[in-house]
Homo-oligomer: A and B are copies of this chain.
């Protein structure tokens, strides 16, 4: 439903900054001309004629951004988690992604992914499709029609991939990417393309050079994987012997951030000092995917370190390295994994707290889309209404405590209403 001006009344919470929650009980969250106008204890005079949507007693939170998710892998999430990464890719991931050559198959299965994303707390996502342009365009259409905001990439793979899932050549991969971009660059207001080399091992130097040129020409953002696990990092070292680090190899092709190239790198579990310095210099967004990093035996990324350095960090489900779409789940796992890193690896990096992972889920990832993730004036109006009555709060907990309980206890069925970019989805 499209409304330009309205007010949501309820128990409101958002992150002012990494440490500080702003909470207002029985407050008013105002949407004016489709954009957030702020949160108020009492409704200011100028909004008195706006419709009031009464969610008294419910939590109203900013929508979450899933900064790293593979849409075609949603189909087989939570399968083969006992396999090693390479075996998992060969047994499940690659054969599954190959099926998306068929647009009918793609339409049916992407619809399920979009449906799950729509009903949960995530309002925005940065999404990997497959190498198939036509199917990726279908995914974008489904996301746009569902009312969600997303950046979506046709994936590039021209080497080190199974025959059935490898593009014919660097030229074909680049040409298909340009076709995809020409189709999609201005097609939808809320769903836009993003350049998506799968990761360095599956992209030849020729292809990476071409992608660098395409990035410059189209000025589109970039997403890929970085320093996820040991064997992958070793492999990249072999493939790019002259690079100072994994990130430097991307950088040499102009695919590693900088002002005109906003870039998300997923994982960053094993980034060393040189890479961290480069990530910081280039303004890389880290997509932290704690569930995936434990499922696939990768390790635990030093997120506290990145935050201390001022590096941008958001959270990702990394379906199907991760199994759960809701970023609530990634928040709980991010806290737990940071505790285990503190306990088992490095006591100098304090564990993440619930307010901090809430910041990452809202402002941290949202910032990749611009002014997103807060309920302050001028921010996109992304919000959801959560019914936390199942947790038996009985009015005895404050909003920060109720938020914490939602982080740990939320299932997929408690989002009552949802707004994305000022539009009410349900």
Contact = CB atoms under 8 A, between A and B. Distances in A.
Interface of A: 75, 77-82, 112, 291, 294-295, 297-300, 323-324, 332, 335-337, 339-345, 351, 353-354, 391-392, 397, 401, 404-405, 407-409, 411-413
13 contacts: A77-B409, A78-B404, A81-B404, A291-B336, A294-B336, A294-B337, A294-B339, A297-B343, A324-B408, A324-B409, A337-B340, A411-B411, A411-B413
Contacts of A391: 78
A324 B404 CA distance: 14
A391 B116 CA distance: 11
B78 A351 contact: no
Given A81-B408, A324-B408, A344-B345, 5 more contacts: A75-B392, A78-B407, A78-B409, A294-B337, A297-B351
B335 A81 contact: yes
Contacts of A324: 408-409
A130 to B, nearest CB: 18
A401 B81 contact: no
Given A297-B343, A299-B344, A344-B299, A354 B81 contact: yes
A392 B112 contact: yes
A162 B178 CA distance: 69
A405 B413 CA distance: 18
A339 B295 contact: yes
Contact of A342 (B75, B297, B337, B353): B297
A414 to B, nearest CB: 10
A339 B297 contact: yes
Contacts of A299: 340, 343-344
A28 B404 CA distance: 44
Given A81-B404, A339-B297, A340-B294, A411 B412 contact: yes
Query: Quick one: which of A294, A342, A404 has the most chain B CB within 10 A?
Result: A294
A354 B81 CA distance: 8
B353 A405 contact: no
B300 A344 contact: yes
A336 B295 contact: yes
A405 B78 contact: yes
Contacts of A404: 78-82
Nearest to A299: B343
Contacts of A80: 404
Contacts of A294: 336-337, 339-340
Contact of A401 (B79, B344, B409, B412): B79
Contacts of A413: 411, 413
A331 to B, nearest CB: 11
A300 B339 CA distance: 11
A268 B297 CA distance: 23
A249 to B, nearest CB: 24
Contacts of A412: 411
A244 B305 CA distance: 40
A79 B394 CA distance: 14
Contacts of A408: 77-78, 81, 323-324
